[in-house]
Chain A
Amino acid sequence: MHPLIKIIILKAIQSYFHNFISPAILFDMQALPLVSVKNLSYTRPQWSMRDLSFTVNRGECMAFIGKNGTGKTTTLNLIAGLIKPHAGHILIQGFNIHTLPILAKQFIGFLPDQCPLYFELTVREYLGFIAKLRQISKYDIPEHVEEALEKLNLKRYQHHLIGTLSKGLKQRVGLASAILHRPSVLLLDEPTQGLDQNQIEDFQLLLSQYKKNAAIILSTHYLNEVKSICDHALQFSTEEIKIYDFNHCTT
Chain B
Amino acid sequence: MILTIARHEFLKLFKTGNIWKLLALCQCILGLIFYRYMTEFLLKSQNLLIENQLSLGVTEEVIHPLFAWTALFFFFITPLLATNCLTQERKSRTLEIYLSAPLTAKKIILGKFVGIFVVQLFLLLPVLLMPLLIAVEDSLDLGQFISSSFGLVLLLSANSSIAIFIASLSKEPLIASFVIFITLLLLTLLEWITHFFSPTFSWVTELALLYHCKNFLSGIINTQDILYYALVSFIFLRFSILRLDKEPHFRQKS
A241 at the interface (CB under 8 A from B): no
A116: B residues at CB distance < 8 A: 92-97
Selected contact of B8 from candidates A18, A117, A129, A134, CB within 8 Å: A129
Selected contact of A133 from candidates B16, B103, B104, CB within 8 Å: B103
Residues of chain A from 120 to 164 with CB closer than 8 A to chain B in the complex = 120-121, 129-130, 132-135
Residues of chain A from 77 to 135 with CB closer than 8 A to chain B in the complex = 77, 80-84, 86, 98, 101-103, 105-106, 108, 110, 112, 114, 116-118, 120-121, 129-130, 132-135
Residues of chain B from 91 to 130 with CB closer than 8 A to chain A in the complex = 92-104
Task: Report the Cα distance A110→B240, complex, angstroms.
Answer: 25
Given contacts A121-B15, A132-B4, contact A98 B100 (CB under 8 A): no
A103: B residues at CB distance < 8 A: 102
Q: What distance in Å separates the Cβ of A98 from its nearest Cβ neighbour in chain B?
A: 7
A42 at the interface (CB under 8 A from B): yes
Task: Report the Cα distance A112→B93, complex, angstroms.
Answer: 9
B251 at the interface (CB under 8 A from A): yes
B248 at the interface (CB under 8 A from A): yes
Selected contact of A81 from candidates B15, B93, B100, CB within 8 Å: B100
A134: B residues at CB distance < 8 A: 101-102
Interface string of B1-20 (1 = CB under 8 A from A): 10011001000100110000
Q: What distance in Å separates the Cβ of B168 from its nearest Cβ neighbour in chain A?
A: 16
A133 and B98 form a contact (CB under 8 A): yes
Q: What distance in Å separates the Cβ of B132 from its nearest Cβ neighbour in chain A?
A: 34
Please give me the residue from chain A that is nearest to B245 by CB atom: A101
Task: Report the Cα distance A74→B95, complex, angstroms.
Answer: 17
Given contacts A116-B97, A117-B94, A120-B15, contact A106 B8 (CB under 8 A): no
B99 and A82 form a contact (CB under 8 A): yes
Given contacts A83-B252, A135-B1, contact A130 B97 (CB under 8 A): yes
B249 at the interface (CB under 8 A from A): yes
Given contacts A82-B251, A121-B15, contact A112 B96 (CB under 8 A): yes
B252: A residues at CB distance < 8 A: 42, 83-84, 86
Task: Report the Cα distance A116→B92, complex, angstroms.
Answer: 7
B12: A residues at CB distance < 8 A: 118, 120-121
Selected contact of B93 from candidates A101, A105, A114, CB within 8 Å: A114
A130: B residues at CB distance < 8 A: 97, 101
Please give me the residue from chain A that is nearest to B103 by CB atom: A133
A77: B residues at CB distance < 8 A: 251
Task: Report the Cα distance A102→B8, complex, angstroms.
Answer: 21
Please give me the residue from chain B that is nearest to A120 by CB atom: B15
Selected contact of B96 from candidates A18, A82, A98, A108, CB within 8 Å: A82
Given contacts A81-B100, A82-B251, A134-B101, contact A118 B4 (CB under 8 A): no
Q: What distance in Å separates the Cβ of A221 from its nearest Cβ neighbour in chain B?
A: 20
A133 and B249 form a contact (CB under 8 A): no
A102: B residues at CB distance < 8 A: 102-104
B102 and A135 form a contact (CB under 8 A): yes
Task: Report the Cα distance A82→B249, complex, angstroms.
Answer: 9
A112: B residues at CB distance < 8 A: 93, 96, 100
A110 and B15 form a contact (CB under 8 A): no
Q: What distance in Å separates the Cβ of B105 from its nearest Cβ neighbour in chain A?
A: 10
Residues of chain B from 54 to 103 with CB closer than 8 A to chain A in the complex = 92-103
Residues of chain B from 4 to 56 with CB closer than 8 A to chain A in the complex = 4-5, 8, 12, 15-16
Please give me the residue from chain A that is nearest to B94 by CB atom: A116
Which of B92, B98, B101: most chain A Cβ within 10 A? B101
Q: 5 extra interchain contacts, Cβ-Cβ under 8 A, other than A81-B100, A102-B102, A105-B102?
A: A18-B102, A77-B251, A83-B252, A108-B100, A120-B15
6 closest A-B pairs by beta carbon, nearest first, are A120-B15, A84-B248, A105-B102, A133-B101, A110-B100, A116-B94
User: 26 A-B contacts, Cβ less than 8 Å apart?
Assistant: A18-B102, A42-B252, A80-B100, A81-B99, A81-B248, A82-B100, A82-B251, A83-B248, A83-B251, A83-B252, A84-B248, A102-B103, A108-B100, A112-B93, A112-B96, A114-B93, A116-B96, A116-B97, A120-B12, A120-B16, A129-B8, A132-B1, A133-B1, A133-B98, A134-B101, A177-B97
List the interface of chain B (C-beta within 8 A of A).
1, 4-5, 8, 12, 15-16, 92-104, 247-249, 251-252
List the interface of chain A (C-beta within 8 A of B).
18, 42, 77, 80-84, 86, 98, 101-103, 105-106, 108, 110, 112, 114, 116-118, 120-121, 129-130, 132-135, 177
